[in-house]
Amino acid sequence: MKSALFPSLQTLFQRFWDIAGGVSVRSKILGIVLGLVILLGLGITIQVRQALTQTMAAQLAEQSVSVARDLAARSTDLILLNDLFALHRLLQETKANNQNVAYAFLLDADGQVLASTYGEIFPIDLIAANSVEPASRHRTVILATNEGYVWDTAVPILEGEVGIARVGLSDVSLRNSLAAITNQLLLTTALVSLIGVTAATFLTWVLTRPILDLAQAAQAVAKGDFAQRVKRWANDEIGELATAFNQMVSELAKADEIRREREVLRRQLLEKVIVTQEDERKRIARELHDSTSQTLTSLIMGLKVMESGCADRQTQQQAHELRQIAIQTLEEVHDLAMQLRPRLLDDLGLRAALERLVKEWQVRYRIAIDLMCHIAQERLPDVVETALYRIIQEALTNVARHARARNVSVLIEQRGEDLVAVVEDDGIGFDISKIEMGDSAQAHLGLAGMRERAALLGGTITFESEIGRGTSIYIQLPIPKTVEDEAANYDFARR
């Protein structure tokens, strides 16, 4: 039972804390001040009412006894003389001189009413409501009526031999006084609450203004604005916090400047490496095409002449086999030159180079591939075409080596000032987190190289893959607006 109750209390406390935690500091301070003022005012009001009620009730009881005794003393002779008119006048005078007197009447020794303030209609039940022994000096009881409570006091006249004097004092004045005092206390509480809220508002403004400035400055710093500084409002803890914040921002600005410089240097170095790599690929591809291919072609032609002019059957067969080896080598050199730097990319552009790449890749690996290319411009900047071609080439190489896919789709689309490409396969997929943690160094380097090529142009590349669900690669590259932008990229990369 306790174990079930404890989590429920924790849940309630958590809900309360969630609600309270969502309120601003200013509202919390105002709520605390207002709550304390209201609680204090209500507490004082209740205590004052209780104290005044007891005091005024005691005074009313004493007044009831005093009036009743005075009435008994003044009515003794009149009762002995049987002067009823004077008795009525005495009762009316007693009621007129005491505003709290609700009624007064006199009883003879037999308990019959001699005179009363009620006139002709006298409530008979009132006689039995209070009685006093002859030996007692007085007896007071509290009677409940429709108009409130009445302190009824009975005083024997000459030890009851002459009669009894009865006086009833109403609590109307007591209730009126309590109501007036309560209203005054509540009005004072409201006035103090207003003053307290005003003072708390000013206090919270003084306290929270520096905190709000710190919060705004922290948000700006989070967005990369390290020029933010906050004013030191006072020499208190918040002032110390402002000074520490400004020092922290200064250190962050220095660290960010160093990071930017390192990033620029790293980018320059990476661009130089990639540009140098492309230039070297282009030079090697040209050498293979212009020198090695021509040499192999001459060797093939010579072996063909040798095969045709040789009479020895065995020598002719050997020349034929050597010519076939030379032809195969020429094809491999041609494929290698195309992989290093396809001439179509320089001559006809990205679309033609990709179509050639896809066609040869599909023949070599026997995997169905679908290429869709929607590019509005006939030619794109060389840096964009080269980067996207190398990324797609690396992606297809990874598919052939690792994916075990049966189908691959490549979509390239120009969207405004961006070039977007998507490469998807239905292979076995992989765990991206494990690859990025270095479980496969070759694959990790391949993904890193693709990311670096995209980042150099200010683009992004995203990998999505699940085991058994294939892999999707999303590439986005910005397209420079003018030829001058492209030249600037090359100049920046070659510095």
Domain locations in the chain?
67-173, 246-341, 348-495
* Nearest-angstrom CA–CA distance, 378 and 349: 8
pLDDT in tens, 24-71: 767 777 778 778 888 888 888 888 888 888 888 888 889 889 998 898
pLDDT score at 481 = 66
Return the CATH number of the domain spanning residue range 348-495: 3.30.565.10
- Mapped onto helix, strand or coil, the DSSP state of residue 161 is coil
Least confident range of 58-67, 154-163, 271-280, 396-405: 271-280
Q: Give the three-class secondary structure for 380.
A: coil
**What is the chain's mean pLDDT, rounded?**
81
Minimum mean pLDDT range among 172-186, 208-222, 391-405 = 208-222
Whether residue 368 has pLDDT greater than 50: yes
For residue 443, what pLDDT is reported?
A: 53
pTM comes to 0.45
Q: How confident is the model at residue 493 (pLDDT cuts 50, 70, 90)?
A: very low
The SS3 of residue 379 is coil
DSSP assignment of 189-218 equals HHHHHHHHHHHHHHHHHHHHHHHHHHHHHH
What CATH architecture applies to the domain 67-173?
A: 2-Layer Sandwich (3.30)
- The C-alpha atoms of residue 123 and residue 116 are separated, in whole angstroms, by 10
Q: 237-241, 279-283, 292-296, 301-305 — which is least confidently predicted?
A: 279-283
User: Of residues 300 and 467, which shows the higher confidence score?
Assistant: 467
DSSP per position, 97-160: H-TTEEEEEEEETTS-EEEETTTT---THHHHT----TTSS-EEEEEEETTEEEEEEEEEETTT
Cβ count near 260 (within 10 Å): 10
State the pLDDT at residue 110.
Answer: 83
